[in-house]
A and B are shown apart, each in its own frame.
Chain A
Amino acid sequence: NAGVMQNPRHLVRRRGQEARLRCSPMKGHSHVYWYRQLPEEGLKFMVYLQKENIIDESGMPKERFSAEFPKEGPSILRIQQVVRGDSAAYFCASSPQSPGHTDTQYFGPGTRLTVL
């Protein structure tokens, strides 16, 4: 039973380019969460999605960032016109059900984005 998969594991972009990060949840999981971790800091919630729906995007920057989780295929976190401050590890997590207070989120290995 494959865990949460993320690709690419490492991504290098120049300022102004677009970054696309992909996340395939665990089999049977329909809830996906994206987090960002800056160096030496904790994880910060960005967005929570179910298939074809954004449920909570309160942690997403207002500009340049977008996320989707289509009916078929992985969830995508897109960052347009990247800047150096976007350099971070981006983790995806999935859970099998709505985030009740006891559910467990399973994390993928992360994508490390470096903006030159």
Chain B
Amino acid sequence: RKEVEQDPGPFNVPEGATVAFNCTYSNSASQSFFWYRQDCRKEPKLLMSVYSSGNEDGRFTAQLNRASQYISLLIRDSKLSDSATYLCVVRVRTGGFKTIFGAGTRLFVKA
């Protein structure tokens, strides 16, 4: 089993749709959680951190359920420019800390 698993995708949605990305992690020593965005042939960029209380940034909402070891990202009113791969990232305490990336879910937003 992978340490961080995401929906395989791709997701194809029309502009204006609401999209939900799911992610599960297997290591209970996971301490912190992030969503990154990666455009085609570009580097990953931090989209948002994920907090236990849930957090929102404009059209983006991230939630964390530690009991279920589950993280989600919701994009409302999707734009063409939201088309990218969304990476779920978990930081695990292993003596120090190790950063583990999910394989990503690709999103295509179409006009």
Interfacial residues, chain A to chain B (CB-CB below 8 A)? 33, 35, 40-45, 48, 55-56, 58, 89, 91, 98-102, 104-105, 107-110, 112
Interfacial residues, chain B to chain A (CB-CB below 8 A)? 4, 31-32, 41-46, 49, 87, 91, 93, 96-104
A109 touches B49 (CB 8 A): no
B32 touches A107 (CB 8 A): no
A102 touches B32 (CB 8 A): yes
B93 partner, pick from A101, A107, A110, beta carbons under 8 A: A101
B44 touches A56 (CB 8 A): no
A33 partner, pick from B87, B99, B100, beta carbons under 8 A: B99
Residues of A within 8 A of B99 (CB): 33, 45, 99, 105
A110 touches B31 (CB 8 A): no
B43 touches A110 (CB 8 A): yes
19 contacts between A and B (CB under 8 A): A41-B103, A42-B4, A45-B98, A45-B100, A55-B96, A56-B96, A89-B41, A91-B44, A99-B99, A100-B97, A101-B93, A101-B97, A102-B32, A102-B49, A107-B43, A107-B44, A108-B43, A109-B42, A112-B41
Residues of B within 8 A of A109 (CB): 42-43
With A42-B87, A91-B44 given, name 19 new contacts (CB 8 A). Answer: A41-B103, A42-B103, A43-B44, A43-B87, A43-B101, A44-B101, A45-B98, A45-B99, A45-B100, A48-B96, A56-B96, A56-B98, A91-B43, A99-B97, A101-B32, A101-B97, A107-B44, A107-B45, A110-B42
The residue in chain B whose Cβ has the minimal distance to the Cβ of A104 is B46
Residues of A within 8 A of B101 (CB): 35, 42-45
Residues of A within 8 A of B49 (CB): 102
Residues of B within 8 A of A48 (CB): 96
